[in-house]
Amino acid sequence: MIEYKPPHYKVEWKYDKNEDYKRYMGGQRHITGEGESINAQNIIIQFLPANVQDEKLRLNMDVIGEGEAIICSRGECRAGEWKKSSTSQRTQYYLDNGDAAPLKPGTTWIEVVRPIRNITISNYEL
């Protein structure tokens, strides 16, 4: 569970027997404007430093560099890290042992969060 603000944006991903993660927001299944459920085979929670940039509380997130991540695939979540050296490069994800993150083929959803967010994962200790 990721506690975004305001509270009705609280996000949960639930893993099912079909090896998909189902997205919930505010306690309800998250549905697209076309009425489709949001599902993914992999979830990455990427922690990014951010600063409030104006009076509307918009955030400026620092996407270049490296930092912590949680990588969830096949029903298991593991500690990891992300690295991105420039705006023209793709972000790379690694497990905490340095190996490339083993992602299942299919959709990967990346939840970008500030390190101050409360996160709860049933099989992962933060």
The predicted-structure confidence for 11-38, as pLDDT tens digits, reads as follows 889 998 888 999 998 888 999 999 999 9
pLDDT of residue 122: 58
Mean pLDDT, to the nearest integer, of 79-92?
Answer: 95
Mean pLDDT, to the nearest integer, of 52-62?
Answer: 87
Mean pLDDT, to the nearest integer, of 75-80?
Answer: 92
Question: What is the spatial distance between Cα 6 and Cα 77, in angstroms, rounded to a whole number?
Answer: 26
Percent of the chain with pLDDT over 90: 56
Q: How many CB atoms lie within 10 A of CB 15?
A: 18
Q: How many CB atoms lie within 10 A of CB 80?
A: 22
**Comparing 20 with 3, which gets the higher pLDDT?**
20
Percent of the chain with pLDDT over 70: 85
pTM of the prediction?
Answer: 0.84
- Burial label for 65, CB within 10 Å (0-12, 13-18, 19+), is exposed
Q: Output the average pLDDT for the chain.
A: 86
Question: What is the spatial distance between Cα 88 and Cα 11, in angstroms, rounded to a whole number?
Answer: 30
